[in-house]
Amino acid sequence: MRKTSWYKLDNIGKFYSATKSNFPIIFRYSVTLTEEVDASLLQEALTSAINDYPSFNCTLNKGFFWYYLEKVSKPYQVEEEKTPICYKMYKDSEDLLYRVNYYKNRINLEVSHILSDGRGTLGFFKNIIYRYLNLKYNLKVETEDNSSIYEKTEDSFDKYYTGPSLRTITNKRIYHYRSRKKKDTTFLEYHISLTKFKDLAKKYQVTITSLIIAVWIKSFEKVMKEREKKKALKIDVPVDLRTIFPSTTSRNFFGLTSIIYDNYNLSLQDIATKVNELLKENTKKDKIQVRMNQMISLEKNIGIRIVPSIIKDIALRITDDIVQNNTTSSVSNIGKIEVNKKLSPYIKNFNVLTSTKYIQMTICSYEDDLSIGMSSRYINNDIIKNFCNILKDNNITGIMNINEEDSYEKM
Amino acid sequence: MRKCNKCKIEYNGNLTKCPLCQSDLTGKKTPSVFPQLKEQKENILRKLLLFIVVAIVIISIFIEYLVHQRLTATKYIILSLITLYILVIYIIEKYQKPIKMMNRYFIIILILLFIWFLLIKSKVITTFLIPILCIVILLFNSITMIVLKESYINKSFGIILLDCILGLIPLLLNILSLVTTPIIVYICTLLDALIFFALLIFCHENLKEEIEKRMNI
Ligand SMILES: [Zn+2]
């Protein structure tokens, strides 16, 4: 018997594969090591990591009804970073849906959202790092994952789907930052102290995520025109469903919850409290289950399933535009990244970034470093400036990395 | 690291002004964590080609209309130019994957032949050109299969199957009485049937899997 050579896409993957030409969603993990990266060792590490995570080494192919993933044997050829951050990766059906590159002390793993989500990819990324550091420093640290390949490639959406739920619709018009956009994306990483930020969150009696979202909301409020305040701010917050359902899949398994804010001119404390309450309420299992069912019911609908993929592509692309237009921004917190104690001396920090159509935030932390990734298509960085200023007013400042040199010249 | 005294943010990289508030930065520069990438150049060749095609079309319309007050020859010029343009662009874009390129190339030529047929209605196309092209496609695939064996069959099974279906087009044209002398059509159909049954007998596993994944619902 031949081994399985293809996978069905998960629910989210199906949606993203249809809309990929509209706007490819790609996110990037990067790790900063203490020494420069050795390309050949990295390739060796990747080649063995792929054996643990075979569902990553796939190309995207078009079937009659849906796209599907075709397994290929050759892993990605590691290279020095030469494409822009989160650069589109799907040209034709022979291109892999991930990319591994390096620059100086950094290893970057970029993954198309068709394949996996942030938490699902983290296991793969850590596997690569563990293997790389083992090779480089002659260590024997075991990789962390103990779930089987079957568990890792499971479509957990399908497993925990309980049936269609009704869609809840907000009638409010959603605010969008209107400012000149540019062709490429500005990526920023703001590194601040986790302890300091944690203390601040404690002071406000909210979680880290809630406080970041509250500051983000406040940053938007400051650029809004008075007449735009009739509209509501909507921040999407992905929730890792692995924390709610027992799953160790490395494919997509997240739900979306959103924070809707329309009661302007509140203090930061009031916003933070409100966001905290909303997040707590919306991430309860029964609420999340409803949202998840809503997301999946579309794919489960027999009427939609039997439509040929060429037509589905067009239909989903249009829906995608509507959905994208229906949100102000999104904040995605990967949370704390932990590594084996023996490896931490070789690792300086972790970062996560995502491609965007508007402006988005992705967060992760490692030891005392809280890395806030921001990607923006706008020429002016006022929202980000407001964000940093609010933190500064609370005595939190840090180090910024930006992928541009003197971007103001383009104004 | 360079510092913005207004935002109190420290920056890595080659910046002179704060990207957030535009005030001058102070302190020593440190290298950026991101590489400085050269701007991706747009394919000038493609634009140049397109311009040449458009220019020739406009000039020939202009000249023919000026001389004869009608547009017969121009029609053919436009058709040939567009055909050529599509083929050349295709070679430029896909040159690094030759086998895949050849297969798609055949299909594109087939489609173009059909368009030609619809426009000029010459039975030479349906009697000779399309069947000969189909034979070439089938032979190309058989030879590649024999040379590359497993790896080609596993990787390109969908295309091989598609080509087998395309190989039946000449027969269909014959049934629709669009063929004057059907000898080439018969050769093509025979070859097609042989290849199809060879696939069925030797690769039925692949066939099953291909249908399964293409038809997953
Ligand atoms: Zn500044």
Q: Which chain A residues have a beta carbon less than 8 Å from that of B157?
A: none
A59 forms beta bridges with A70, A96
Beta bridge mates, A15: none
ipTM score of complex: 0.89
Confidence of residue A1 (pLDDT cuts 50, 70, 90): very low
Contacts (Cβ under 8 Å, ≥6 apart) of A82:
A101, B35, B37
Domain-embedded: residue A275: yes
A168 close to A297: Cβ distance less than 8 angstroms: no
Element holding A305 (H helix, E strand): helix A302-305
Q: Report helix, strand or coil for A375.
A: strand
Cα A302 to Cα A68, A299, B212: the distances in Å are 18, 8, 18
Same domain, A61 and A195: no
Interface test with A, best of B16, B20, B21, B150 (most A CBs within 10 A): B20
Are the Cβ atoms of A94 and B21 closer than 8 angstroms?
no
Q: At what angle do helices B204-214 and B183-202 cross, to 10 degrees?
A: 90
Q: Which of A361, A320, A329 is nearest to A234 (CA)?
A: A329
> Are residues A132 and A45 part of one domain?
yes
Nearest CB partner across the interface for A65, out of B20, B100, B217: B217
Residue range A253-280: mean pLDDT, rounded: 91
Interchain proximity B217–A66, CB inside 8 Å:
yes
Residue B114: what residue type? F
Contacts of B209 in chain A (CB under 8 A): 2, 5-6
Q: What is the rounded CA–CA span in Å between residue A298 and residue A345?
A: 47
pLDDT, tens only, A56-98: 999 998 888 888 998 888 899 999 999 999 998 877 777 899 9
Please report whether residue A295 resides in a domain.
yes
Q: A30 and A130, same structural domain? A: yes
Same domain, A368 and A294: yes
Chain B partners within 8 Å of A187 (Cβ): 34
Whether A104 sits inside 8 A of B33 (CB atoms) is yes
Asked which of A178-187, A402-411, B51-60 is least confident by mean pLDDT, the reply is A402-411
CB A215 within 8 A of CB A268: yes
**A109 and A225 together in one domain:** no
**A80 has which bridge partners?**
A102
Element (H, E) at B98: helix B98-120
Q: Give the strand pairing for A79-80 and A98-103.
A: parallel
Asked if residue A200 is part of any domain, the answer here is: yes
What's the rounded Cα separation, in Å, for the pair A86 and A29?
A: 10
Lowest mean pLDDT among A44-48, A125-129, A183-187: A183-187
Kindly list the distances between the CA atom of residue B168 and the CA atoms of A359, B139, B208, in Å, as whole numbers in the listed order.
52, 14, 21
A347 forms beta bridges with: A33
Whether A156 maps to a domain, the answer reads no
Residues A351 and A307 reside in one and the same domain: yes
Q: Considering only CB atoms, which chain B residues are within 8 Å of A64?
A: 214-215
Does residue A163 fall inside a structural domain? no
Share of residues in chain A with pLDDT > 70 (%): 95
Give the Å distance between the CA of A164 and the centre of ligand 1. 50
CA-based nearest residue in chain A for residue B11: A400
Separation between Cα atoms, residue B76 and residue B84, nearest integer Å: 12
Residues A192, B8: Cα–Cα separation, whole Å: 12
Q: Which of B32, B34, B90 to mutate: most A Cβ within 10 Å?
A: B34
Q: Taking Cα atoms as reference points, which of A234, A340, A246, A317 lies closest to residue A285?
A: A246
Predicted confidence (pLDDT) per residue in A364-390, tens digit: 999 999 999 999 999 999 999 999 999
Tell whether A69 and A195 lie within a shared domain: no
How remote is the CA of residue B4 from the centroid of ligand 1, in Å? 5
Residues of chain B under the 50 pLDDT cut: none
| Amino acid in position B93 | E
The C-alpha atoms of residue A405 and residue B5 are separated, in whole angstroms, by: 18
Tell me how close the Cα of A30 comes to any Cα of chain B, in angstroms.
11
Residue A304's CATH number: 3.30.559.30
A203 and A343 both lie in a single domain:
yes
CB atoms within 10 A of CB B168: 15
A32 falls within a domain: yes
Tens-place pLDDT, residues A248-266: 899 999 888 889 898 888 9
Max Cα-Cα span within chain A: 67
Is the pLDDT reported for residue A411 higher than 70?
Answer: no
Tokens at residue A171, please?
């009638």
Q: Give dist(CA A387, CA A391) in Å, integer.
A: 7
Task: Give the Cα-Cα-Cα angle B104, B108, B109 (nearest 5 degrees).
Answer: 115
A134 and A256 inside one domain:
no
Q: How far is A400 from chain B (nearest CA, A)?
A: 5
Residue A14 is part of a domain; what is its CATH number? Answer: 3.30.559.10
**How far is Cα A102 from Cα A51, in angstroms, rounded to an integer?**
21
Per the DSSP assignment, residues forming a β-bridge with A240 are A254
Q: How many helices (H) and strands (E) does chain B have?
A: 9, 3
Number of structural domains found in chain A = 2
Q: What is the pLDDT of residue A286?
A: 85
Would you list which residues of chain B are within 8 Å, Cβ to Cβ, of chain A?
1, 7-17, 19-22, 31-37, 40, 94, 97, 100, 154, 158, 205, 209, 213-217
User: Does the residue A160 lie in any domain?
Assistant: no
**Residue A136 sits in the same domain as residue A250:** no
Main-chain dihedrals φ then ψ at residue A324, nearest 5 degrees:
-60, -35
**Cα separation values, A128 from A97, A142, A401, B57, Å:** 16, 12, 24, 55
Set of chain B residues whose Cβ sits within 8 Å of the Cβ of A402: 11, 13, 15, 19, 32, 34
Domain limits at A30? 3-148
Is residue A61 within 8 Å of A68, Cβ to Cβ? yes
Same domain, A24 and A88: yes
**What distance in Å separates the CA atoms of residue B196 and residue B65, rounded to the nearest whole number?**
51
Q: How far is the CA of A259 from the centre of ligand 1 (A)?
A: 29
In this structure, are A306 and A405 located in the same domain? yes
What type of residue sits at position A309?
S
Q: Helix or strand or coil: residue B139? A: helix
Query: Inter-chain contact B22–A408, Cβ cutoff 8 Å?
Result: yes
Helix B130-148 to helix B98-120 angle, to the nearest 10 degrees? 170
Under 8 Å between Cβ of B216 and B164: no
Q: With bands split at pLDDT 50, 70 and 90, how would you rate the model's confidence at A47?
A: very high
Which parts of A107-183 fold into alpha helices (H)? 118-137, 149-152, 156-160
Fill in the DSSP letter of residue A4: P
Q: Mutate which of A8, A402, A410, A411 to test chain B, going by most B C-beta atoms within 10 A?
A: A402
Judged by CB atoms closer than 8 Å, whether chains meet at B7 and A406 is answered as: no
pTM over 0.80: yes
Is residue A371 in some structural domain?
yes
- Lookup result for tokens 């159909």: B189
